[in-house]
Structure 1
Amino acid sequence: MLRKLLIFSIVLTVISGCSSETSVNLEAKSVALKMKENPTDEFIPKTINLVGIGDSLTKGVGDEAKLGGYFGRVTEKLKQQDNIKDVKVKNFGVKGHKTTNLQKKLNDEEVIKGIKEADVIVMTIGGNDIMNVVRNNIFSLDFKPFREEQKKYKERFKSILATVRSYNASAKIVYIGLYNPFKYMLPEISEIDTIMEEWNNDSEEIILSDGNGVFVSVADIFSSTTNGKLLYKDEFHPNEVGYSLMADRIYNSLKYTELTTDSVSRKE
């Protein structure tokens, strides 16, 4: 009987020792929880405010597909970017507007508000300024009237850019250059190509001097016959194919641009 008690006591001691050791070992083990890092701002989708100003090309005149011309197509392309949650748009393009008209339009309260909220501003202007010179000198076209008007255009363009910047110092401003719609309708007036190039050079110099401006050239798109007919039946505005090619060019100029600016973060 005594022997049984002794054996039982030893077994209890061993079991108790094992339990204590296990308990000590369990208590000694620490569990490290690794906190997941928050994603950086560049991976957080943003809402972009896109504003259009200028003439009938920004309005989308000639787009029989009713997709909003280049403006509507660029909007849809931006919406497909992973880092963009949504694109809010305001289009203030007006058919027939020249630089003088746009200068006045920039005084409208609705336009001012739209520009102030914009992250990206796209603009077409100048085509009707040149068309006005053509109309007024149709029977005696030479370089002189175009170059006289070019000087005035250059000053008005600077004024437009300065006004936009006074409303919004940080938005990306994209200016879409001029093309020659008379190339096939009036092929004998080859001087128009030179005029367009000179006006585009002035516009590019001014927009790039801004530091946050982009010049998008489209003259070569409309000077080629590779893609077939690119003008609407009025032989002045782009058709849906022309607008699609313009939109591709404009979007590609924005695709690798940092659109998640401080202004976007502030508004989110």
Structure 2
Amino acid sequence: MKKLFQLLIAVFLVLALGTPSVSAEHNHGKDLLVSLGDSVPYGYNLGKNNNHPSKAAFPYLIGEKADLRVRNLSAYGLQTSDLLTAIKTNKKYQKAIHHADYITITIGGNDFIEILRAANAESGGDPELFKFLIQQKLSTSKAFNNLAEIINEIRTLSDAPIVLYNMYNPFQTNDPLHNIANLFLPQVNATFAELAHSFNDVHIADAYSAFGSNQEKYVLPQDIHPTKAGQKKLAKIGIKAFHVEHVTHH
């Protein structure tokens, strides 16, 4: 597996270097990866404090492996509506996206957790009602529309390849919410995949399958954020998703 990964990186590098970017002069000779999203690409809880994005977060790991400059514009607590507003109104975001050669999006986890919390509170401990309420709240959630609008807005600024991360199960296997999440995340992630396929050059990094039931290894204990090993895994599937794009388009 390791050899395959190194081979993928080598191929990715050749392809990346073989296609000089128009905006190379802005990027000091290196292509630019712009990371948009929430606390996952921020690398939340990986360092002593959370004052700035962690260098152990997957965008920086992709940057190291593929020799890219990284602009990490993710922020903890962001929901899809927040990211949409930032892209529509914030010049810093717009400028970064405009200059990007590669873009990652990791958003939706906070929307989903809010749905879980609300359903849990309203169900009063009735498991069947809890499941029903999650289903109901998912079907009326604006998250998917927001996500479509986010990609649409990005496409008005940039035609750079986009990797959209789907949602991993953030709950440890011994947490009752683990099985609940597994009931609904495949459906959520199927919608992510449909969205990605409806745009040009948007590819899914399948975090859900990559993490599987290895939360003990990939998710921090008593937390929902990735461990350093989890971040490495996210970097690996991100590079692979960009690599697929290059193979199919060049």
| TM-score scaled by length of structure 1 | 0.71
Q: 1:20 maps to which residue?
A: none
Q: 1:93 maps to which residue?
A: 74
Q: 1:162 maps to which residue?
A: 152
Q: 2:37 maps to which residue?
A: 54
Residue 193 (1) aligns with residue 182 (2): yes
Aligned residues: 212
Return closer, same or farther for 1:188/1:132 CA change in 2, 3 Å cut-off. Answer: closer
Q: Which one-letter code corresponds to 1:104 in the other structure? A: T
Q: How far apart in 2 are the matches of 1:44 and 1:130?
A: 38
Q: How far apart in 2 are the matches of 1:244 and 1:115?
A: 24
Q: How far apart in 1 are the matches of 2:109 and 2:55?
A: 22
Task: Trace 1:1-268 onto structure 2 (pairs within 5 A).
Answer: 43=18, 47-64=30-47, 66-79=54-67, 87-106=68-87, 107-139=89-121, 140=123, 141-151=130-140, 152-168=142-158, 170-187=159-176, 190-225=179-214, 229-258=217-246
Larger mean CA deviation between 188-197 and 97-106 belongs to 188-197
Return closer, same or farther for 1:245/1:171 CA change in 2, 3 Å cut-off. Answer: same
User: What is the identity percentage for the equivalent residue pairs of Structure 1 and Structure 2?
Assistant: 23
Larger helix fraction of residues: 2
Coordinate RMSD, CA, aligned: 2.6
Deviation of 1:209 (Å)? 1.3
Q: Which one-letter code corresponds to 1:186 in the other structure? A: D
Q: How far apart in 1 are the matches of 2:177 and 2:222?
A: 19
Larger mean CA deviation between 109-118 and 214-223 belongs to 214-223
Deviation of 1:45 (Å)? 6.3
- Secondary structure of the structure 2 residue equivalent to 1:138: helix
- Alignment gaps of 5+ in structure 2: 1-15, 22-29, 49-53, 124-129
Q: How far apart in 2 are the matches of 1:189 and 1:246?
A: 20
Q: How far apart in 1 are the matches of 2:139 and 2:205?
A: 19
| TM-score scaled by length of structure 2 | 0.76
Q: Which one-letter code corresponds to 2:185 in the other structure? A: M
- Alignment gaps of 5+ in structure 1: 1-40, 80-86, 262-268
Return closer, same or farther for 1:234/1:189 CA change in 2, 3 Å cut-off. Answer: closer
Deviation above 6 Å: which 4+ runs of structure 1? none
Larger mean CA deviation between 121-130 and 144-153 belongs to 144-153
Deviation of 1:234 (Å)? 3.9
Q: Is the 8 A contact 2:165 2:204 kept in 1?
A: yes
Return closer, same or farther for 1:92/1:234 CA change in 2, 3 Å cut-off. Answer: farther
